[in-house]
Amino acid sequence: MESASNIKNIIFDLGGVIMNLDVDKTILAFKDLGMTDVVNDTNLYYKNPIFNDFETGKISETGFLDELGKLLGPNATHKKIKQAWNAMILDIPKDRINFTLNLKDKYRVFLLSNTNSIHQTKFESEFKQQNDFLFAKLFEKIYYSHKLGMRKPGEEIFNFVIKDSKLKAKKTLFIDDSDQNIATAKKLGIKTVHLQDAALLTNLDIK
């Protein structure tokens, strides 16, 4: 990890950092519905632009479900599509929740996530049921791609967060599991941690 001696702000990614994800579950669920080419050969990028459009708010939730329904056929109801899309979302372990809450005593803590309204509804609802407080309480402010109309790894979304919350890049630490997102943050002068195993989050020594 890079030196964090002057860190005042921490920006977390969500999936693969705070929340456990299993994208393969969604890929398999869509295959069961008839979509066999959800992602490219690397399993990192969705082939159909509708997924990116949904994550950047260019298409509504209903529009997303309708368009996928046309691709999948009459047996793919909105309910089945949402279940397949949400299959990747797993849990947010208690130790990561406590870790994040404890950091708020010393740092300004933010969330920057590429996500969409269906996933947001799913994980925020489950979090509230399991922890009896709102997910948003973990952070000073949350930035979701589908609400901002832009997504990582684009520079514009990082610049927006820095300007909107009046942060100094050199005093800000960004924690993400994507090397592309990390590369953009570094380019902008933000300190970074490339977290390749979410289970190691609580082992980070942030000073």
Same fold, 9-20+91-203 and 23-86: no
Would the pLDDT of 5 be above 70? no
Topology of 9-20+91-203 in CATH? Rossmann fold (3.40.50)
The DSSP secondary structure of the chain, one letter per residue, reads: ----TT--EEEE-SBTTTB-B-HHHHHHHHHHHT---SB-TTSSSBSSHHHHHHHTTSS-HHHHHHHHHHHH-TT--HHHHHHHHHTTB----HHHHHHHHHHTTTSEEEEEE---HHHHHHHHHHHHHHHSS-GGGGSSEEEEHHHHT--TT-HHHHHHHHHHTT--GGGEEEEES-HHHHHHHHHTT-EEEE-S-GGGGGG----
Residue ranges per structural domain of the chain = 9-20+91-203, 23-86
User: pLDDT, tens digit, for every residue of 25-56?
Assistant: 988 898 888 877 665 444 444 667 888 899 99
Residue 203 binned pLDDT confidence (cut-offs 50, 70, 90) = very high
What amino acid positions are annotated as catalytic residues? 13
Give pLDDT, residue 64: 94
User: pLDDT, tens digit, for every residue of 107-165?
Assistant: 999 999 999 999 999 999 999 999 999 999 999 999 999 999 999 999 999 999 999 99
> 3.10.129.10, 1.10.10.10, 1.10.150.240, 3.40.640.10: which CATH number matches 23-86?
1.10.150.240
Give pLDDT, residue 46: 64
